[in-house]
Amino acid sequence: MSAIHNPLFTIHHSLLTPAMPNTKLFEITESPLSQDDILRRVSRADCGGVVTFAGTVRGTTATGDGERGTDFLDYEAYIPMAEKMMARIGDEVMERWPQVKAVSILHRIGRCEIEEPTVLIAVATPHRGDGCFEACRYAIERLKAVVPIWKKENWADGEVWVEGPRQPELIVSGE
């Protein structure tokens, strides 16, 4: 499993077998996300339970001045670090829920329209009671806390980069 996280291996692999489905488990991509695709990435014969989470673009957002209509979102990521942090969340999940056999996290960047998925998470376990629901919830909470990705809200009359809830243990700037 560690081999597919090696970027050299990934390039090599994609050159040799361009027709193969993408097997990267932790990926930042500009392409639209697909539930079928992430299900295939975690599918295993020894797992009968897969929980998926999709984060999608809401058409409204709460602001200090009340609710505003969103036109679309733009996402940016520090791609190599984001993929590394998502893989680390996968490791944390496996440590906390030893029955979890596979985790995949995909996040889209670039322009995302209302209702489109921006993040997909899938967790596979042998049975539904083996922690797949809890592990999936854990993964999205961790992603929102530590993975270096940012969204820009675009409205009819402006745009603003959104800052997420501050993680005190990560703050370096003087307060």
Partner 1 sequence: MDVRLRLFAGLRQVAGYKEKVVNLPEGAVVADLLGELPQSIVGRTFYIAINEEYARRDSALKDGDLVALLPPVSGG
Instruction: Tell me which residues touch partner 1 (CB under 8 A).
Output: 55, 75-78, 80-82, 84, 107, 118-119, 140, 143-152, 160-167, 170-175
Assess contact for 82 and 105: CB atoms under 8 A: no
Closest separation in Å from C-beta 99 to partner 1: 25
Residue 17 vs 34, nearer CB to partner 1 = 34
Intra-chain end-to-end CA distance of the chain, in Å: 41
Closest separation in Å from C-beta 46 to partner 1: 29
Closest separation in Å from C-beta 140 to partner 1: 6
- Residue 21 tokens read as 């489905």
Closest separation in Å from C-beta 18 to partner 1: 28
CA dihedral 135, 136, 141, 144 (to 10 degrees): 140
Residue 88 vs 126, nearer CB to partner 1 = 88
Assess contact for 119 and 54: CB atoms under 8 A: yes
Residue 157 vs 169, nearer CB to partner 1 = 169
Residue 17 vs 167, nearer CB to partner 1 = 167
CB neighbour list of residue 151: distance below 8 Å, 6 or more residues apart? 73, 74, 75, 76, 118, 161, 162
CA-wise closest residue to 79 among 20, 30, 23: 30
Closest separation in Å from C-beta 147 to partner 1: 5
Residue 128 vs 166, nearer CB to partner 1 = 166
